[in-house]
Structure 1
Amino acid sequence: MQKLNLPTYHFKLKNSENKTLIFDNLRKKYLVLTPEEWVRQHFVRFLVDDKDYPTSLIAIEKQLTINNRTKRTDILVFNNMGHHDIVVECKAPSVKITQDTFDQIARYNLKLKANFLIVTNGLEHYYCRMDFDNETYIFLKEIPDYKSAL
């Protein structure tokens, strides 16, 4: 898999039926290793290992309904009170991040009302803090670590 613009982590990999699988520590199971999954697994590890977010506050592929359609967030981080705090949209490294990507995560956040949005393809990362009063988001240099977000 492609080297990403994130720290290097060690993952448990195995082969099955001519497919490479990666072990997801949060869901406690092996998943097919797609380029998007590679980014998702790295970003979860970045949040846990480098930003100190507890795994107990992170959900992967959390289902939500928007306009009677089922959608899934790639990564959803909750705060200590159980409210949505961070929504992360992951794309494969080959996928260019466009306004459509931001529109997608913004639609999700109309329902979720999270404080922070992150869009990443593993190579480029965009961090935003919501400004609900002005119905916009403010770009940040990085996402706060868990302790400073409290």
Structure 2
Amino acid sequence: MQELNFPKYEFRFKSNENKVSIFDGIRKKFIVLQPEEWVRQHCVQYLIQHKNYPQSLINVEKELKVNGLSKRYDIVIFNTDGSIHLIVECKSHNIKIDQTTFDQIARYNLSLNATYLMVTNGINHYYCRMDFENERYEFLKDIPSYIKSTN
């Protein structure tokens, strides 16, 4: 697979009927290894190992309704109160991230109301913080690491 702009991680693979699968520790199953899944698995490991987000607060590939249409988000990190801290949109390494990608995650966020957004193709990573009051997002150099709530 393509080398990505993430640290190196250890993954479990299996091969079946000429298809390679990668183990997803969040979904607790093997997923067919496609380029976007390769990016998603690296991003999940980055969030757990480098940003210290607990695995229990991470959700991967779930359906949501946007304007009555069924969509699937890539990665969501919840706050301990159940609100959404971060949405991540993953693209294959060969997909250029452009305004369309940001429009997609912004549409998802109309339903989810996450504080932070991340868009990555595994090579380029973009981070934003939502400014709900002014209905815009502010680009950041990185997303914050997990800080355990003391409430």
TM-score by length of 1: 0.97
Q: CA deviation at 1:52?
A: 0.3
Equivalences, count: 150
Query: Is 1:43 equivalent to 2:20 in the alignment?
Result: no
User: What TM-score do you get using the length of structure 2 for normalisation?
Assistant: 0.97
1:123 maps to 123
Q: What is the SS of the residue equivalent to 1:45?
A: helix
Q: Offset at 1:147?
A: 1.5
Q: Aligned residues: percent identity? A: 58
Matched, 1:88 2:115: no
Alignment map for 1:5-16 (pairs within 5 Å): 5-16=5-16
Structure 1, unaligned runs of 5 or more: none
Q: 1:134 to 1:106 in 2, by over 3 A?
A: same
SS of equivalent to 2:139: strand
Alignment of 1:63-142 (within 5 A): 63-142=63-142
| Runs of 5+ consecutive residues of structure 2 not aligned to the other structure | none
1:78, 1:2 → 2: CA distance? 29
Q: 1:116 to 1:30 in 2, by over 3 A?
A: same
Q: For residues 2-23 of structure 1, what are the alpha-carbon distances to aligned partners after superposition, in whole Å with 9 as ceiling and x for unaligned?
A: 1100000010011101001000
Task: Quote how far apart the aligned CAs of 1:148 are.
Answer: 7.8
CA distances 1:31-60 after superposition (whole Å, capped 9, x unpaired):
100000000000000000110000100000
State the alpha-carbon separation in 1 of the partners of residues 3 and 85 from structure 2. 28
Following the alignment from structure 1 to structure 2, what is the Cα–Cα distance between the partners of residues 85 and 62?
16
SS of the counterpart of 2:47? Answer: helix
Q: What is the deviation of 1:69?
A: 1.1
